[in-house]
Structure 1
Amino acid sequence: MKKKILFVKSLNSTFIIKDEKILRKHFYVESFLFKPGSALRLATSQFQLLFWLMFNIPKAHLVYIWFADYHSILPIVMAKVFLKKSAIVLGGMDAIKIPEVNQGVYLRPFRGLCAALSIRFCDLLIPCDESLIETVNSYAKQEPFVAGVKHLVKYFRTPYIVIPFGFDSKKWKPGTRHREKLALTVAVIKNMNKLRLKGIDLFMEVASRLPHYKFMIIGASGWATDFINENKSENVTVTGPVNNDELVEHYQRAKVYVQLSLSEGLPNVLCEAMLCGCVPVGSDVNGIPTAIGDAGFIVKKRDLKLAVAAVKAAMESEPGLSQAARERMVQHFRLDQREQKLITAIHELIK
């Protein structure tokens, strides 16, 4: 008989759904979608989560939570009360504090307390990259700063296992068309803080210095679209979010993929682009250099000249680098690798 896992999430992103599908292959899974929002919405969601936990947790073997945030504290407390095991997947916002762009759960005292206590008292953390535990960010600001839950959570002693995200190389693959001298970046952007966090402002500056190349931003909406259109150079196009089929087509025609974020976990879009054969350019933060390795170009500091040089080098690189980018993903970031490591870790936890 399959053991029971309670799966708690606050959104239905692709990478979360992939984990849910993996677990359903090996366990009986009950899922709860926590809906954050206003204070009233949060309170309502917490009550709904509490009743759901009270009904389901007695017969469960593990509570599996995506992100440490408002929604993680109740499952952790209930797991302790009912002597059940718990695991939290760290995603990024639960491992940073960057007030300059209003990013990180620890900027709000109560929210940060919920996340910190959840991380401190859960049985296992599952970060997608070692940097979410501890890192020094020398890219985002003039002076380097320490980040990661080991720095942000007092008395941190929680066991953890790094399990990178995995990707389907049959879905994300190069096409047959000729690659354009196009640099692409993808991010969900609605406001200035998110625009700066994802490095879109620097991406636009790079584009203005390289007018003979084309640049494209995918994922902007609302205010962000207007801002980009008002400030971009003529060689930049911008579009809203697209479905995965369209995204594959864009990856297949672009020579270069650019990720100049101030902070990240392990960016899915970067890895997908590399699988499709884009030559990667990325900032030296968190999981970005882990993904790129020696198959692309790392920008060590948030500096326009360095970023321009990296994008230009990627544009003029030999075709073999495109293949190297894909091969790196296939070798180190396969979906079956995540499945194997995840299931092994869970069996070890609940045995």
Structure 2
Amino acid sequence: MPARKPVLLYFYPAQSSFVVKDLRLMEQRYEVRHKGFLPAKKWQTPLVWLGQVIFLLRHIWQAEALVCMFAGYHSFFPALFGKLARSPCLIVAGGTDCVSFPSIGYGVFSNPLLGKFARWSYQLAAHIAPVHEKLVWQDYTYQPNDFPHQGFRYHCPDLKTPHTVVYNGYDATFWKPIPNVVRESNTFLTVCAGLNMRFTQRLKGVDLILEAARKVPHATFTIVGAPENFQFTTQPANVRLLPKMPLADLIEVYSGHTFYLQLSMSEGFPNALSESMLCGCVPVVSKVAAMPDLIEDSGFLLPQRSPDLLEELILEAIGTKELFQLGQKARAIIAGQYPEQRREQELLGLLQKLTSAS
């Protein structure tokens, strides 16, 4: 009879694709007992907390380790119980829990109360695993309305908890160009959830894309993630909206576009950008967080949030002759440097190290 796997408790604020991937990864070595923190309304938060505390009281004494995806309200009690029970709590810092953008009300540290719970969580945790170095500390020059630096060590200046960067990982055998799909010229693609919210449009740079579409009418701009029957108030004729779609269909859409746009004001280690690069898209990104490091010299970098600079950059991209080679280079970067196996080895290795030391 095989030996029973050690117990790991896993906490997350939403069951996103990267949460599902990490769950699958950790289940190779652990018996993972997971608990979402998903209040439908703000007033339900105390009730969800109560459910989380009951869950912890039931399982903490069997747990070899605890893992929280992001820091926030949901990570405080796991970090506290882990400290009390001497079971190491690892917080995976993914993006929003490392930044503050008061100009648009984005980031854990733009909310004073939520920021306190994130700081307490980071302090109580045994270790932090950001998905990129830029989430620890970065100089921020993309737009001038917020802080000159970002990262959890900037917003938590007295933090003593150690950290280890563990990059996201991707399956290059799944995300790859479809050979018989024609990649149309002068085509730009972005994937964006919450497209009907003005806040999201600004955060993800969709407002810039709409302005660029008006200025460059001979290019086509596709945005995936539109709710049913949604249209922008003034939508240029060369902007096409597609609904949220299964991953297999998304591969075909990636394969049919030349460029991928990620013009966010804030990002961690963006999945859609990495997936599109694996599918041969040439990246056009804002100078934010991990993105300049991710694309290296395989694409185009927008240094500041400016419609005029974006227009110039798009025209430069369209006029570039070596686009096929750039797409191949983009794929090679993600496939070579950020494979799923690397995240698997490094994350499981870090957990092994933490549990051995506790």
The residue that corresponds to 1:19 in the other structure is 22
1:323 lines up with 2:328 in the alignment: yes
Offset, 1:164: 1.1
Deviates more, 1:176-185 or 1:278-287: 176-185
Do residues 204 (structure 1) and 207 (structure 2) align?
A: no
CA contact (8 A) 1:63 1:79 kept: yes
Q: 1:91 — aligned with what?
A: 94
1:142: Cα distance to partner?
A: 6.0
What's the counterpart of residue 349 of structure 2? 344
Alpha-carbon distance in structure 1 between the residues aligned to 2:38 and 2:244: 22
Q: Could you tell which deviates more after superposition, 253-262 or 136-145?
A: 136-145
Give the deviation of 1:112 after TM superposition: 1.3
Amino acid in structure 1 at the alignment position of 2:266 = S
Match of 1:41 among 44, 62, 70: 44
C-alpha distance after superposition, 1:47-102 (max 9, x if no partner): 11001000101011111000101100010111111111010011111111111111
Aligned residues of 2:101 and 2:147 also touching (Cα < 8 A): no
> Contact conserved, 1:128 with 1:265, CA < 8 A, in 2?
yes
Aligned CA RMSD, in angstroms, stands at: 1.5
User: How high is the sequence identity, in percent, across the aligned residues?
Assistant: 31
> Equivalent of 1:108, from 88, 107, 111?
111
Displacement of 1:222 after TM fit?
7.2
Note if 1:119 corresponds to 2:122. yes
State the distance in 1 between where 2:308 and 2:42 align: 44
Distance in 1 between residues matched to 2:74 and 2:332, nearest whole Å: 37
Q: How many pairs were matched up?
A: 348
For 1:264, the aligned partner's letter is E
Answer yes or no: is 1:146 the counterpart of 2:149. Answer: yes
Are 1:298 and 2:301 matched, yes or no? yes
Cα drift, residue 156 of structure 1: 1.2
More helix by share: 1
Alpha-carbon separation, structure 2, partners of 1:222 and 1:43:
33
Q: Secondary structure at the match of 2:218?
A: coil
Alpha-carbon distance in structure 1 between the residues aligned to 2:280 and 2:257? 9
Q: Aligned to 2:258, what secondary structure does the other structure show?
A: strand
Q: In the aligned structure 1, how far is the partner of 2:107 from the partner of 2:147?
A: 17
Q: Which moved more, 1:48-57 or 1:201-210?
A: 201-210
Q: Which amino acid aligns with 1:346?
A: L
Give, as a single letter, the amino acid of the residue that structure 2 aligns with 1:74.
Answer: F
1:247 aligns with 2:253: no
Q: What CA deviation, in whole Å up to 9, does each residue of 1:199-234 have, x standing for no partner?
A: 0000111111111111111113379x34x2x22211
User: What is the alpha-carbon distance in structure 1 between the residues aligned to residue 50 and residue 145 of structure 2?
Assistant: 44
Deviation per CA, 1:98-146, whole angstroms, max 9, x where unpaired?
Answer: 1111101222222111111101221111111111111111003268611
**Residue equivalent to 1:256:** 259
Match of 2:85 in 1: 82
- Structure 1 residue identity aligned to 2:342: Q
Point out the more displaced range, 49-58 or 287-296: 287-296
- For normalisation by structure 1, the TM-score amounts to 0.95
Q: Distance in 1 between matches of 2:43 and 2:283?
A: 43
Contact 1:35/1:41, CA 8 A, preserved across alignment: no
Residues 69 and 111 of structure 1 are in contact (CA less than 8 Å); yes or no, is this contact kept in structure 2? yes
Which runs of 5 or more residues in structure 1 are unaligned?
Answer: none
Cα offset for 1:154?
Answer: 4.1
Q: Does 1:180 align with 2:188?
A: no
